[in-house]
Amino acid sequence: MDLISDSHVPKYAQIANIFRQRIRRGIWAKGMRLPANEELAAEFGVSRVTIRQAVDLLARDGVIEAQQGRGTFVTGTLKQDRWLKVETTLSDLAEVYRDTSPEIINISESHMAAPLLPDDGQPAERYVFMRRVHSRKKRPYCVISIYLDERVFRKSPKRFRDETVIPILHDMRDPRIAHAKQTLTIGTADLDVAKLLRIPLNSPVAEVRRVFTSADGKVIYLGEVTYRGDFVRIDMDLRP
């Protein structure tokens, strides 16, 4: 099986993902012994060391186990982890954050200029910058950089520090969000993101950029979010 040789994703991570798909689809059922490392190495055209690295990734998930003298066996099943929906309306997005009630780890807080694009809107006088990690059941699923208009932040600093920001902004009447947009791109995890999300370097990630403006055209919120690629799904209604 050919791997993507010029991909930023290491070969062992690509192979581990193929293994996950085989287990998820039942091709490798629970209790089944995996082909020998030599056989898998020949299938993928890689070394046995690369196969062992891929196997180690799945062993950490508890779905396969290497047994001395017997081989490697499928010991569990992969549940559907793509629970995180990237919503396409502001109201639905606010509800997602309300319903997930993530565990928030604040990494830093400071004042910083927001990296706005020309068509984003007018910058506020000053922004509060917050960088944080959101987790669910102790598993980190996104890293987010938040640039919040300081005037808005000062209305409820404790809530903005302790809670997810979007539901608070959605419920505010002054200033009211007049326009909201988001852009999603696919990327790979750099060293910092990989460490924070506990994923291999160069793993696939979804990068979402959100901009909220008030009625006067000022950008009151900029959010740059990096999601684990294996947690995200996008549902779209295809209109006829």
Two tokens, residue 99:
């319903």
The closest alpha carbon to 232, from 143, 142, 122, belongs to: 142
Residue 153 is predicted with a pLDDT of 97
Domain ranges, ordered by start, for the chain: 11-74, 84-233
How far, in Å, CA of 7 to CA of 80, rounded? Answer: 25
User: Tell me, what's the pLDDT at 83?
Assistant: 55
Please give the pLDDT value at position 171. 93
Task: Give the global pTM.
Answer: 0.70
Q: So what's the pLDDT on residue 230? A: 78
Query: What pLDDT sits at residue 48?
Result: 92
State whether CATH 3.40.50.2300 applies to domain 11-74: no
Fold of 84-233: Chorismate lyase (3.40.1410)
Q: What is the pLDDT along the chain (240 residues), one digit of tens a residue?
A: 657 665 667 888 889 888 988 887 788 988 999 999 999 999 999 999 999 999 998 888 788 988 888 889 998 766 555 556 666 678 878 877 776 667 888 989 999 999 999 999 999 999 999 999 998 878 898 999 999 999 999 999 999 999 999 999 999 999 999 999 999 998 888 989 989 998 878 888 999 999 999 999 999 999 999 999 877 777 777 767
